Structure 1
Amino acid sequence: MDLNDVNYKIENAADSVSVTVTNKAANRDVEVTVKFVENPDYYIKLDQAKQTYNADAVRQEIAMYYGSEEEFFSQYGSYYSSVDDVVQQGIDNEMQGVYQYLPEEMVVSAVYSKAELMKQAGMNTLLGMGTVFVVLIFISFIISLFKFLPALFAKKPKIEDLKKEESKPAAPAKAATPAPAAGNLMNDAELVAVITAAIYAAEGQAGNGAVSKDKLVVRSIRRARK
């Protein structure tokens, strides 16, 4: 596979490398992001392989088994062109299955268009606002119940106190004051009028009749029959 035909992105960090590859599908594109971290065992085994396979050690083995380098390259010249190639091949054989970076996590996400992202953002906004209003209504309902708290925490009278209140004798009712009779009031008013007229008559001038300061003329005084 040619990497030029693959849409990928590599991001390097201090101790990790992230590779994002876009996979084109029929319905929707998918991005796969893999985060790689350094493998500490890689460098340990690399040092061990370099100590085992070095130019001096390779030349000693060639001289031991083939007599000379010319004889060795005459047989394996199609595989190796120099001693360094033999050293590198030995190191590669030792490092098989050991990688410099190991995958730590992988994230698979769908690729959305701008219209889909705007629609999703609008739905999230409406959902958030609806949640806020529901919470506010619930808080208002809780606050409206506070008016019942005094009644709930009010001290209830004990049964003994109720019994004491019932055992107390009832206070005697006050006697009603009798209203004055209408006839007596009428007699008092007539008596006052007669006395007043007599006084004005005694102090008035002589003549056909006595005149009071209020121009009240008293002709005669008679007792009314009842």
Structure 2
Amino acid sequence: MSGFGEISEPSTRTAWEDWDDVLQKEAYPELRLQKTMEPPTEIDTFIILEGRYLYDRVKNQHELVHVNSIPEVNLHLYKSKLENNYICIIKDYNLVQSSEIVELLKEYIVTSSDVIAVLTKPLVEYQVAQFVNEEYVIRSLNTSTQTSRNINCKYPSLEQPNIIAGVAAGALSLREIVDKPAVILVCYIEHPEEQKIYELQDLLDKLHVIPKVDQANRSSILNSNLYI
């Protein structure tokens, strides 16, 4: 028997309330650039290359000077020897940390006259009504303000319901907010680790990231003479 104002709970309950489960939040390391340095006051183009294929393809280029890094998210920042361009490469990071990474790169993103991002994704994630019988598909996504950079490449716009996320998407959103031009080229690849996308290599050449594409080394195990 219970008195007035008392709450009696049954000894057993078949339903759990929200507070019954203690959610354990995953701990992420605090991110910071390795070197403390002032960003340049003028940048012609800030280029973001996101994905394992692009990361491995660019990392050891002699035409680039290493500027800074965020090792926890596999991010490296380079300065081009050929032009007043900066190149950011990143791979295998947790999307939860995208906003934090964009914030650390904010001065580079906002300062640049143009921002161009290239993003690789598995072809199975490309959603269209018709069957895709190709090894890769390249689509573009632009800010309202069009880029003035002539990269000689016109690709169809990314169709709905396809979406992008991560650092490249965050940079595009930031450029839209500050009313500056940016473009993302999304390359859906059948085998992201296989270095046979010559159109993508040619695009990196046009951006002056990797010159002499036809003489580039291909280190992928899929292109080696090793058989199992």
Q: Same fold (TM over 0.5)?
A: no
Greater RCO, CA 8 A, separation 6+: 2
Higher helix share: 1
- State the TM-score, normalized to the length of structure 1: 0.17
- State the TM-score, normalized to the length of structure 2: 0.17
Higher strand share: 2
